[in-house]
Amino acid sequence: DVVAYSGRAVDDKVDRAKYKNTPQTMVFNKSEILFGYNFARDLKKEHMLDTLIIVEGHIDVISCHQVGITNTIGCMGTALTNLHAKKIKQLVDNVILCLDADSAGAAATYKAIDALKEVGLNIKVVRLEGAKDPDEFIKKYGKDNFLNELMNGLDCVDFILKDSAKKYNLASNLDRTNYINEALNYISKFSTVAEQEIYLSEVQKLVKVPLDTLRKSLKRETEPMH
């Protein structure tokens, strides 16, 4: 059943909005509706759904479906919420996050990881190079290259460790300490004990601090406060 409409300008005139959407209504709540979810649900009924690809906009979803990547849904440019995450968990255990490549997309990726991890989903992250979003990437480089990017997505903690390191000058003691604190926070939140060893080794390569020191710091991070 149709709950809303969305229109997109086909040229880049600056005197009008790029998108024109139905506003929020009683039946159209962007915090819980996912574009393309109905198709994903049909795939689930046919036992043809193992992983969902999450993109940002309607056009990204349409572009993916046009080339046969029909396990794609979109959060319509809004932050991915806990309600979205619960609906996704009803269908799959595995997701690939492929949000826009700009700074807003990067911030949205971190928030989405939080929401998706909270419901116990396995998350891979794809950061596209050479295109601002999946729609542009598919048009420029084709379906096969896009599928290749999806196949090579990083585990979400791996992605965070590598991505957040870019914010810091790791030659500076202060920046290195701040990066270690941020990295350990994510490792303690999102990984099992076995995975922690792997991630600590990754951090150790970047910060050149003994592994035992990182282990002790992580232990303090995970110990409950008294």
- Residue in the block written with tokens 């090579």: 152
**What pLDDT sits at residue 224?**
60
- Residue in the block written with tokens 């008294």: 226
**What pLDDT sits at residue 60?**
95
**What pLDDT sits at residue 11?**
83
Largest interatomic CA distance in the chain: 60
CA within 13 Å, CB half, 108: 23
What three-state secondary structure class fits 61? helix
CA angle 114, 119, 122 (to 5 degrees): 75
CA atoms of 42 and 89, how far apart (whole Å):
15
**What pLDDT sits at residue 27?**
92
**What pLDDT sits at residue 189?**
86
pTM of the model: 0.89
pLDDT tens series, the chain, 226 aa: 899 998 888 887 778 888 888 999 999 998 999 999 999 999 999 999 999 999 998 999 999 999 999 999 999 878 899 999 999 999 999 999 999 888 777 889 999 999 999 999 999 999 999 999 999 999 999 999 999 999 999 999 999 999 989 889 998 999 999 999 999 998 988 878 888 889 999 999 999 889 999 998 888 877 665 4
